[in-house]
């Protein structure tokens, strides 16, 4: 604590030297990393997806877990597998009216060009323009599943003309991107006036949590995600906290296909981690165990079995390790464990390193910048990679698809490069039906408990420090990064 307070004083003094040149009405928000891409087809990480919500609009949107029309003025299903949509009379941020040709262009890019989310939207078969304000989409599966897909970031709508001419994205959202200094900040300006809407938003990239806390205290930030290890710090006491629970999971991929990482080795790694102790001592009880890949909120009661939680058992871990394919040579191999290079993820890496060392493995942690980590993961580099998955939409299916889908490997979401034909069949069926049936979830959990492509970790509560200024805006809930 003494070292931390000294660090606080140093940064406190340094931050006093700088003054904001932002308009007084600007809402200042910390983001943990930069946007990877403004293109809705390729900005698939959490920050990119949430910035997408500010800048773009869709044919439909989700409000209180219900899908309702957004850019669509009306819609109907004239026959099975066909939706007719009439567009609102609305202009983009450059003043040009939206046309059916814009929608056709955006959706055709999504379903025809190579991109990480292409298979996720495979139930959209084709899209055709009828006139300037009317179009039809041919699809496979259930109606409400299609509407849900048309509300996600991947189906964002933007000007076809501007994208064709200069690869820019002019859309219809609440905000326009005024300035983007890569690796530093994004500045957004509101496209409409309203008491619930901040006129300006400054998104500042902050990878150091301690700096974020100090800037918040100095009133240089209005919204800041506070990591678990700062929750007990005296400087965070007395601050308004917004909480989000159960909408993400943390896990560590075990590279699928490596002959040394067989079923026994994977079991050993899962039994080696004392999740209860980590949650209590490291996360200050601001987390919960998973049932394999599922948070408690998305697991039926009769599937909440202890065998799906892999309670810590070092003797079992050592036993399974000794029975694995490459034992004892695996003890001489330096395992490459990768994670993002921010404080929170490095702390998790150190914890996992210690537990795996305790069962006799040699482990090297390798913190990496986000873009490099994802790129090299897509190239099958690294033995174990610590990752976080945030729900794209509120459904149990999204904890399976794309995470275990063999048509979504690497940047598509299946970062373990795991493949199981039976799980693929369940996913394909569920994509059409729009949901994961309980019996299918039970079968998937049974398979995963035998094959264990991950070290199943935990779901961490997300806590945000929010200023009085931010609390004035109902809109601020969209700014929890």
The predicted-structure confidence for 324-364, as pLDDT tens digits, reads as follows: 999 999 999 999 999 998 878 888 899 999 999 999 999 99
The predicted-structure confidence for 401-451, as pLDDT tens digits, reads as follows: 999 999 999 888 899 999 999 999 999 998 887 789 999 999 999 999 999
Instruction: Kindly tell me if the per-residue pLDDT of 314 is higher than 50.
Output: yes
Of the pLDDT bands very low, low, confident and very high (cuts 50, 70, 90), residue 463 is confident
**What pLDDT does 198 receive?**
92
How many angstroms separate the CA atoms of 164 and 160, rounded?
6
Of the pLDDT bands very low, low, confident and very high (cuts 50, 70, 90), residue 237 is low
**What pLDDT does 207 receive?**
83
- pLDDT, average across residues 458-476: 86
- pLDDT, average across residues 306-323: 96
- pLDDT, average across residues 309-317: 96
Total residues belonging to the chain:
481
Of the pLDDT bands very low, low, confident and very high (cuts 50, 70, 90), residue 31 is very high
The predicted-structure confidence for 150-166, as pLDDT tens digits, reads as follows: 999 999 999 999 999 99
**What pLDDT does 5 receive?**
53
The reply to whether omega before 32 is within 30° of 0 (cis) is no
- Domain 57-166 architecture: Alpha-Beta Complex (3.90)
Q: Does domain 248-460 have CATH number 3.30.2130.10?
A: no
**What pLDDT does 18 receive?**
40
Instruction: Kindly tell me if the per-residue pLDDT of 197 is higher than 50.
Output: yes
Of the pLDDT bands very low, low, confident and very high (cuts 50, 70, 90), residue 19 is very low
**What pLDDT does 17 receive?**
42
CB 175, CB 203: distance < 8 Å: no
Instruction: Kindly tell me if the per-residue pLDDT of 14 is higher than 50.
Output: no
**pLDDT higher at 14 or 238:** 238
CB 403, CB 293: distance < 8 Å: yes
How many angstroms separate the CA atoms of 413 and 435, rounded?
18
CB 302, CB 294: distance < 8 Å: no
Of the pLDDT bands very low, low, confident and very high (cuts 50, 70, 90), residue 92 is confident
Instruction: Kindly tell me if the per-residue pLDDT of 181 is higher than 70.
Output: yes
3-state per-residue secondary structure call for the chain: CHHHHHHHHHHHHHHCCCCCCCCCCEEEEEECCCCCCCCCCCCCCHHHHHHHHHHCECCEEEECCEEEECCEEEEEEEECCEEEEEECCCECCCCCECCHHHHHHHHHHHHHCCCCCCHHHCCEEEEEECCCCEEEEEECCCHHHHHHHCCCHHHCECCHHHHHHHCCCCCCCCEEEEEEECCCEEEEEECCCCCCCCCEEEEEECCCHHHHHHHHHCCCCCEEEECHHHCCCHHHCCCCEEEECCCEEEEEEECCCCCCCCHHHHHHHHHHCCHHHHHHHHCCCCEEECECCECHHHCCHHHCCHHHCCCCCHHHHHHHHHCCCCCCHHHHCEEEEEEECCHHHHHHHHHHHHHHHHCCCEEEEEEECHHHHHHHHHCCCCCEEEEEEECCCCCHHHHCCCCCCHHHEHHHCECCCCCCHHHHHHHHHHHHHCCCCHHHHHHHHHHHHHHCCEEEEEEECEEEEECHHHHCCHHHHHHCC
CA-nearest of 107, 205, 194 to 149 is 107
- CA angle, corner 169, sides to 165 and 174, nearest 5? 150
**pLDDT higher at 1 or 81:** 81
Helices 263-272, 343-358: axis angle to 10 degrees equals 110
**pLDDT higher at 245 or 165:** 165
How many angstroms separate the CA atoms of 419 and 103, rounded?
34
Q: Which of 30-44, 124-138, 252-266 has the lowest mean pLDDT?
A: 30-44
How many angstroms separate the CA atoms of 141 and 187, rounded?
40
**What pLDDT does 15 receive?**
47
Instruction: Kindly tell me if the per-residue pLDDT of 8 is higher than 80.
Output: no
Q: Token digits for 336?
A: 């490459």
Instruction: Kindly tell me if the per-residue pLDDT of 183 is higher than 50.
Output: yes
CATH topology of domain 20-37+173-244+463-479: D-Maltodextrin-Binding Protein; domain 2 (3.40.190)
**What pLDDT does 235 receive?**
65
- pLDDT, average across residues 106-121: 91
**pLDDT higher at 208 or 57:** 57
Handedness of CA 455, 461, 467, 473 (dihedral sign): positive
Of the pLDDT bands very low, low, confident and very high (cuts 50, 70, 90), residue 246 is low
- pLDDT, average across residues 20-34: 89
Of the pLDDT bands very low, low, confident and very high (cuts 50, 70, 90), residue 144 is confident
How many angstroms separate the CA atoms of 206 and 224, rounded?
9
Q: Which of 154-163, 311-320, 388-397, 468-477 has the lowest mean pLDDT?
A: 468-477
Terminal CA-CA length for the chain:
27
- Burial of 309 per CB tally in 10 Å (0-12, 13-18, 19+): middle
- Tell me phi and psi for residue 170, to 5 degrees: -105, 120
Domain range list for the chain: 20-37+173-244+463-479, 57-166, 248-460
CB 393, CB 121: distance < 8 Å: no
**20-37+173-244+463-479 and 57-166: identical CATH topology:** no
- pLDDT, average across residues 52-65: 90
The predicted-structure confidence for 273-295, as pLDDT tens digits, reads as follows: 999 999 998 888 889 999 999 99
CB 261, CB 404: distance < 8 Å: no
């Amino acid at each position: 604590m003494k070292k931390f307070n000294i660090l606080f004083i140093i940064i406190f003094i340094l931050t006093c030297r700088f003054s904001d040149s932002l308009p007084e009405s600007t809402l200042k928000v910390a983001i943990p990393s930069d946007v990877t891409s403004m293109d809705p087809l390729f900005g698939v990480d959490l920050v990119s997806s949430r910035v997408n919500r500010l800048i773009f609009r869709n044919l439909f949107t989700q409000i209180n877990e219900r899908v309702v029309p957004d850019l669509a003025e009306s819609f109907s299903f004239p026959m099975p597998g066909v939706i007719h949509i009439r567009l609102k009379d609305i202009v983009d941020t450059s003043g040009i009216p939206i046309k059916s040709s814009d929608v056709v262009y955006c959706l055709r890019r999504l379903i025809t060009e190579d991109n990480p989310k292409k298979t996720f939207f495979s139930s959209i078969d084709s899209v055709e323009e009828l006139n300037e304000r009317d179009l039809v989409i041919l699809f496979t599966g259930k109606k409400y599943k299609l509407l849900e897909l048309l509300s996600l970031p991947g189906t964002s709508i933007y000007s076809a003309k501007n994208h064709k001419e200069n690869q820019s994205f002019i859309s219809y959202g609440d905000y326009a991107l005024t300035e983007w200094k890569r690796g530093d900040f994004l500045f957004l300006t509101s496209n409409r006036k309203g008491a619930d809407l901040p006129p300006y938003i400054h998104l500042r990239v902050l990878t150091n949590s301690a700096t974020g806390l100090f800037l918040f205290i100095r009133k240089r930030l209005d919204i800041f995600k506070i990591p678990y290890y700062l929750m007990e710090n005296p400087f965070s006491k007395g601050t308004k906290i917004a909480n989000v629970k159960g909408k993400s999971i943390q896990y560590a991929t075990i590279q699928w296909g490596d002959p040394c990482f067989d079923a026994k080795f994977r079991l050993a790694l899962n039994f080696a981690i004392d999740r209860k102790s980590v949650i209590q001592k490291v996360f200050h009880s601001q987390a919960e165990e998973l049932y394999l890949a599922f948070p408690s909120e998305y697991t039926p009661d009769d599937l909440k079995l202890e065998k799906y939680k892999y309670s810590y058992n070092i003797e079992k871990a050592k036993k399974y390790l000794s029975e694995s394919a490459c034992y004892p040579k695996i003890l001489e191999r330096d395992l490459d464990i990768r994670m993002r290079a921010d404080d929170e993820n490095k702390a998790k890496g150190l914890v996992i390193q210690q537990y795996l060392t305790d069962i006799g493995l040699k482990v090297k942690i390798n913190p990496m910048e986000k873009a490099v980590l994802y790129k090299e993961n897509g190239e099958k580099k690294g033995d174990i990679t610590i990752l976080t998955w945030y729900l794209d939409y509120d459904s149990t299916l999204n904890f399976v698809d794309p995470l275990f889908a063999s048509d979504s490997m690497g940047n598509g979401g299946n970062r373990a490069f795991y493949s199981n034909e039976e799980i693929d069949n369940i996913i394909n069926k569920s994509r059409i039906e729009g949901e994961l049936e309980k019996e299918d979830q039970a079968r998937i959990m049974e398979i995963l408990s035998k094959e264990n492509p991950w070290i199943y970790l935990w779901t961490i509560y997300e806590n945000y420090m929010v200023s009085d200024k931010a609390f004035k805006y109902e809109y601020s809930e969209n700014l929890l990064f």
